[in-house]
A and B are shown apart, each in its own frame.
Chain A
Amino acid sequence: MAIMRPAIQINKLAFGYPGQSDLFSDFDLVIDAGSRFGLFGPNGAGKTTLMNLMTGLLVASDGHIRLLGKEIKKHKSSVNFLFGFVPQDFSFYHELSPVENLAFFGAWAGLSSPLIRKRTGELLDILGLDAVRDKKVKDFSGGMKRRVNLAIGVINQPPVLFLDEPTVGVDVQTRHAIIQYLKQLNAAGTTLIYTSHQLSEAEDLCDRIALIDQGRIIVDGQPDHLLSEHEQDGLEGLFLHLTGKNYRDQSV
């Protein structure tokens, strides 16, 4: 039986923003390959920071982060071939069409021109953007922009996909379509590492969740187990039960 390497392996991670105390200290986390992992926490808990550390956008002051066994610090350029990233912000050129955006980001992802054309056709079809393939994205609705954002993130068929609130601000139909597509990707072997404030969505999508607060993991496990362990009937209740009801904007 082949031993699968974890998608993400974090050991003794330390990180702090300049002029502030360390947000993460001695932080450990392992995410199995092929899983649908959800990362949750209140504002300022460290979700986006952790995601930026895992994607190499931030550099840890100490510890190790390995993506599919490769140390990010040492192999930044080759590690970048192994994952896709769907940021919360619309991360594309609004003056360009979906086809032009995918052509550009596909090239930057290291794909050849014919492969980009093939993947573009597939993705626009799956995500319902084929009819507007040559229109400028700036004229799209929020939901269409979210789908373009997602299409760019998966154009290179990455083994690991990071998603930072991929459904924020979209209607129910678009959310449903995006979640279904993510499940398809996962079924095909893509590891999903996902963060959101949509906890009902997380219940539907994730097979494992971790709740972090102030740079520490409070709970980590399968949603069903966590709910029964803490005697809650939903993730929202669990969230409030573990993190409290006070505003968390002070960290700003």
Chain B
Amino acid sequence: MYRLWATIQKDIRVLSRDKLGLTFLFIMPVLLVLIVTSIQNNTFELINKNKVPLLVCNRDTGASSFQFIRALDTVGLFTVQLIPADQNDQSIRDRLQKKDAFLAVVVPADFSAQMAIRTKSLSGKALNSFGLGDSTGEASDKEAGPAHGKHADRTGGGAVHGDGGGDADGMPITLYYHPILQETFRRSAQGAIYSALQLVESRQLLRTLYFSINEKELPDTLENELMTRRARISELPVSRNGDRSTPNASQHNVPAWTIFSMFFVVVSLGSGIVREKLNGSFIRLKTLPTNYFVAILSKQITYLGVTMTQAALIFAVGVWVFPLLGLPKLNLPGDWAGLILLSLLCGWCAVSYAICIGVFAQTEEQANGFGALSIVILAAVGGLMVPDFAMPGNFQTALKLSPLHWCLEAYYGLFLEGGKLKDVWSNVLSLFLIIAGLQGVTLWGLKRKNLI
């Protein structure tokens, strides 16, 4: 026991005197978490809190276009910036290329007129089907003309024309977008524009129908009541502990990059083992009456302490420093014992991996190069960089081979789902199996190389 204690003391001393190594082990991970969380939080807020600038070129002078623009403003996704109606399409494209905005909508000159024709046509058809039809409907249909009749089956009175699709033969609203926008965000914007169009068309259709039946204008109070009484959607994250707070960038990033940092001890620990093997001290150790396994055990304990310190440091930064920097505070799981035990397991897995690399690597360059690169690959495959549900089918199987995946799943079970250790037991079991495998391979390597 004294030998182990002396070895742990030696390892801690050697580690604590390597200033660059300490920076790498503790400062870099904190910086990494801060930077990644800040970037992702900005993206989250861009979508969730900040409104996206939307240039609107309204070439129509009718009421419907103004209603449409007002609806765009109230939909919540955009900050509408009206640009002069006489701007041509090329100048709008130029403004997008200069990144004045990422989206632009052009409302055609006949938008309101076409909207009126269309709603009259639709209301006429509706009245006819109710058995209340008169010449109004027929006339409306006639006014609308055969071309506009086609739109009865379409969504909304206008069509959003962008991305090479849309309805070209109606009164297309053109949506320009900067290619930098991701597909998912573009679809969201398109959906919001359709929603605004639908609102305008529904309001107009309602007015026309009311007038046709009652021969007087729809009262504003009734109109507002009819148009605003919509079924509400209540969003609830599915958490195990009933917590209704929405997961944020901190909850997603801190666990993921803590795991990444833990596994990155491979650079310090793996190369440390190789250095010890290559320098003279290892020769002397082999001639002393103590099994080299004591040295390996000491490294496991020392670096387990390092990984736990990393986790504590990063979590502390998440809880206390993030709010000072305007980032969402990290909410620690309620199951403290589970969090500590799980962090120990993740750390042990990381240390086992690093020691395995150190035992088999022949040079420090091998340990550093292979170790670092393999962690990046395992992190990518394990879902730390791209969510696992977004991965292609064959990667869904491959990710199960990454120890980082099981660490992440278990951490997410606590941090995002509000679960306890018992809720992530399958991940814990997988981690145990991986650790046992890594330790087994390490022992085999030590025996094969005549080190123990």
Residue B49 CB within 8 A of the other chain? no
Supposing A104-B10, A105-B284, A110-B290 touch, asked if A136 and B2 sit within 8 A by C-beta, the answer is: no
Task: State how many residues of chain A have any CB contact under 8 Å with chain B.
Answer: 33
Interface string of A74-103 (1 = CB under 8 A from B): 000110110101011111110110001001
Interface members, chain B 263-289 (any A CB < 8 Å) = 279-281, 283-289
User: In the complex the two chains form, is A103's CB within 8 Å of B287's CB?
Assistant: no
A57 near B14: Cβ-Cβ < 8 Å: no
Q: Are B289 and A89 in contact (CB under 8 A)?
A: no
Contact indicator B10/A89 (Cβ below 8 Å): no
B272 vs chain A, min Cβ distance (A): 11
B139 contacts A by Cβ under 8 Å? no
Q: In this assembly, does A247 line the interface, its C-beta being within 8 Å of a C-beta of chain B?
A: no
In contact, B13 and A95 (Cβ under 8 angstroms):
yes
Query: CB-CB < 8 A to B10: which residues of A?
Result: 93, 96, 100, 103-104
CB of A152 within 8 Å of the partner chain: yes
User: CA of A57 to CA of B10 in the docked complex: distance in angstroms?
Assistant: 23
- B 288-328 to A, binary, CB cutoff 8 A, 1 in contact else 0: 11110010000000000000000000000000000000000
CA distance A103 to B12 in the complex (A): 14
- The 8 Å CB contact of B14, one of A59, A80, A96, A105, is A96
Determine whether A107 belongs to the interface, using a CB cutoff of 8 Å to chain B. Answer: yes
Q: Are A96 and B13 in contact (CB under 8 A)?
A: yes
Chain A residue with the shortest CB-CB distance to B10: A104
Proximity string of chain B (70-86) to chain A, C-beta cutoff 8 Å, 1 when within and 0 when not:
00000000000000000
Closest Cβ neighbor of B292 among chain A residues: A108
> Out of A80, A92, A93, which one reaches B288, CB within 8 Å?
A80
Query: In the complex, A137 Cα to B99 Cα: how many Å?
Result: 60
- What residues of B have a CB within 8 angstroms of the CB of A106 in the complex? 6
A93 touches B281 (CB 8 A): yes
Per the bound structure, the CA–CA distance linking A46 and B135 in Å amounts to 117
Which residues of chain B come closer than 8 Å to A90, judged between CB atoms?
A: 279-280
User: Bound complex: CA of A220 vs CA of B73, how far in Å?
Assistant: 102
**Are the CB atoms of B289 and A91 closer together than 8 Å?**
no
* Given A91-B280, A91-B281, A95-B18, A107-B6 contact (CB < 8 Å): yes
Cβ–Cβ < 8 Å partners of B285 in chain A:
108
- Chain A residues with Cβ below 8 Å from B6 are 103-104, 106-108
Q: B284 contacts which chain A residues (CB < 8 A)?
A: 85, 87, 91-92, 105, 152-153
* Residue numbers in B under 8 Å from A88 (CB-CB): 280
B289 touches A107 (CB 8 A): no
Judge if A113 is at the interface, Cβ distance under 8 Å: yes
Contact size class for B?
20 to 34
Of A77, A87, A88, the most chain B CB neighbours within 10 A belong to A87
Q: Are B280 and A81 in contact (CB under 8 A)?
A: no
Contact status A93-B289, CB under 8 Å: no
B12 to chain A, nearest CB (A): 11
B248 interface hit (Cβ, 8 Å) = no
> Known: A93-B10, A95-B17. Contact between A107 and B279, CB under 8 A?
no
A16 CB within 8 Å of chain B: no
* B3 interfacial contact with A, CB 8 Å: yes
Chain B residue with Cβ nearest A104: B10
How many Å from the CB of B114 to the closest CB on chain A? 80
Q: Considering the complex, give the chain B residue whose CB is closest to the CB of A86.
A: B284
B241 beta carbon closer than 8 Å to chain A: no
Q: Which residues of chain A in 37-96 are interfacial with respect to chain B, using CB atoms and an 8 Å cutoff?
A: 55-57, 59, 77-78, 80-81, 83, 85, 87-93, 95-96
Cβ of A109 < 8 Å from any Cβ of B?
A: yes
What is the CA–CA distance of A103 and B5 in the complex, to the nearest angstrom?
Answer: 11
For residue A112, CB closer than 8 A to chain B, the reply is yes
Name the CB-closest residue of A to B281: A91
A105 CB to closest chain B CB, in angstroms? 7
1/0 per residue, CB under 8 A from A, across B331-348: the answer is 000000000000000000
Q: Tell me which residues across on chain A come within 8 A of B9, comparing CB atoms.
A: 103-104
Q: Separation in Å of the A62 CB from the closest CB of chain B?
A: 18
Give the nearest-CB partner of B279 in chain A: A89
Q: Within 8 Å of chain A (Cβ to Cβ): is B7?
A: yes
With A104-B6, A107-B2 already in contact, the answer to whether A78 and B286 are too (CB < 8 A) is no
Q: A80-B288, A91-B281 are in contact. List 13 more A-B contacts (CB 8 A).
A: A56-B287, A83-B287, A87-B280, A88-B280, A92-B284, A93-B14, A100-B10, A105-B284, A105-B288, A107-B5, A107-B7, A110-B288, A112-B2
Residues of B within 8 A of A (CB): 2-3, 5-7, 9-10, 13-14, 17-18, 279-281, 283-291, 294, 450
Shortest beta-carbon contacts, A-B, top 8: A89-B280, A91-B280, A107-B6, A80-B289, A91-B284, A104-B10, A108-B288, A108-B290
